[in-house]
C-alpha cells in the first residue's frame, strides 16, 4: 500500500464549519429546536460526505462515546478507559462483562452498513421480527421517527436503554439516507430524558442532536487532521506490514499492539515509532497492556 507524499493537512481548512448561529442559539420551543437540529444534521451530512473524513474511525470513536453514555444510564462506573480495556484487551474465551457488552454492541452497530442483519449482529438477543416491529414504530420526519422508536422500545423494555438508542439512531440513519448508523442520541441525552414521552421526548431528542452533531463535526475535523498526519508519515515506516497497521489505526478508535499484523516486538516498536512521529497517541498511560489510537 502506498500513500501520497504531499502534505494534505492544509486541505482540511476546506471542511465546512458548523454555522455559529447553530451553536449559539438558545431555542426552547419544539419548533425552534427542530429547525436547529435540522440545520445541524444537514451540516453533519455534508461533513460526512467529504473524502478527508475518516468515517470508520469517526463512527468507532462516536460508538465509544455512546457506550459510555449508556453505561452511565445503567448506573455502572465504567468510563472511556475501562470500556477500551474491556473490548481491546479481551483474550479468546474471555467474557467482556456488562459494560464491555454495551461497547461491543455499539461497535458492531457502526462497523457495517445499516441493515437488519447489522442490527441483529449488534443486538443478538433480539428476534429479527422484534427489531422490525420497533423500527416500524418510527414515522414522520427523521428526528420524530427516531424519538418514536426510542419511546416504543423503552415503553416495552424500560431497562433496555442501549437497545433503544441503537435502534433510534438506526431509524435516524435510515430516514436521513445514511449508509451507516452514526451514534448521536445517547451522548446528547440525559438519563431523565429517557423517561419522557411525546413532545417532551421529541424536544429532548432535538436538543440532543444539536449538541451531538456539533461534537461529531468537531471530532470529524480533528480526526481528519490526525489521519492526514498519519498518512503523511506512513512512507517513513519500514516494518513489513506497516501499511496494514496504518489502515487499522485509520479505522479503529484504539489498537493493541498484539492486534497488529506484525510480530510482538515489531508491533511495539512500530507503535513507539508512530508516537515519536506524533502520528498516534498512547491512550492508557500505562507501561504494559498499552493501547494506541490516532
Residue 43 and residue 166 share a domain: yes
Residue 170 and residue 278 share a domain: no
Domain boundary among 164, 188, 223: 223
Residue 73 and residue 214 share a domain: yes
Residue 185 and residue 105 share a domain: yes
Residue 163 and residue 75 share a domain: yes
Element (DSSP H or E) covering residue 148: helix 142-156
> Digits of tens for pLDDT over the chain (294 positions)?
444 444 444 444 568 889 999 988 888 899 999 999 999 999 999 999 999 999 999 999 999 999 999 999 999 999 999 999 999 999 888 899 999 999 999 999 999 999 999 999 999 999 999 999 999 998 889 999 999 999 999 999 999 999 999 999 999 999 999 999 999 999 999 999 999 999 999 999 999 999 999 999 999 999 999 999 999 999 999 888 999 999 999 999 999 999 999 999 999 999 999 999 999 999 999 999 999 999
Which residues are paired to 131 by β-bridges?
none
Q: In this structure, are residues 170 and 109 in contact, taking their beta carbons and an 8 Å threshold?
A: yes
Residue 146 and residue 64 share a domain: yes
Say if 119 falls within a structural domain: yes
* β-pair type (292-293, 281-282): antiparallel
Give me the CATH number covering residue 259.
1.10.10
Residue 114 and residue 46 share a domain: yes
Amino acid at each position: 500500500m502506498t500513500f501520497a507524499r504531499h502534505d494534505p493537512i492544509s486541505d482540511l481548512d476546506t471542511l465546512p464549519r458548523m454555522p455559529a448561529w447553530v451553536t449559539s442559539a438558545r431555542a426552547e420551543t419544539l419548533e425552534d429546536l427542530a429547525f436547529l437540529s435540522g440545520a445541524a444534521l444537514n451540516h453533519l451530512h455534508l461533513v460526512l460526505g467529504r473524502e478527508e473524513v475518516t468515517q470508520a474511525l469517526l463512527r468507532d470513536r462516536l460508538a465509544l462515546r455512546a457506550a459510555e453514555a449508556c453505561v452511565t444510564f445503567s448506573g455502572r462506573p465504567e468510563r472511556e478507559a475501562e470500556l477500551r480495556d474491556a473490548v481491546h484487551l479481551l483474550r479468546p474465551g474471555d467474557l467482556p462483562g456488562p459494560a464491555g457488552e454495551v461497547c461491543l454492541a455499539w461497535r458492531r452497530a457502526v462497523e457495517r452498513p445499516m441493515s437488519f442483519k447489522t442490527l441483529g449482529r449488534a443486538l443478538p438477543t433480539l428476534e429479527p421480527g422484534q427489531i422490525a416491529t420497533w423500527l416500524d414504530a418510527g414515522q414522520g420526519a427523521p428526528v420524530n421517527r427516531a424519538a418514536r422508536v426510542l419511546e416504543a422500545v423503552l415503553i416495552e423494555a424500560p431497562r433496555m436503554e442501549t437497545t433503544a438508542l441503537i435502534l433510534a439512531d438506526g431509524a435516524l440513519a435510515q430516514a436521513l439516507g445514511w449508509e451507516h448508523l452514526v451514534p448521536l442520541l445517547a451522548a446528547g441525552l440525559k438519563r431523565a430524558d429517557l423517561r419522557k414521552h411525546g413532545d417532551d421526548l421529541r424536544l429532548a431528542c432535538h436538543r440532543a442532536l444539536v449538541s451531538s452533531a456539533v461534537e461529531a463535526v468537531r471530532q470529524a475535523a480533528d480526526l481528519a487532521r490526525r489521519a492526514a498526519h498519519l498518512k503523511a508519515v506512513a512512507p517513513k515506516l519500514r516494518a513489513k506490514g506497516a501499511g496494514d497497521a496504518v489502515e487499522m489505526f485509520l479505522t479503529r478508535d484504539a489498537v493493541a499492539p498484539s492486534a497488529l499484523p506484525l510480530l510482538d516486538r515489531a508491533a511495539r516498536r512500530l507503535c513507539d515509532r508512530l508516537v515519536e512521529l506524533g502520528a498516534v497517541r498512547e491512550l492508557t498511560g500505562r507501561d504494559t497492556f498499552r493501547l494506541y489510537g490516532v
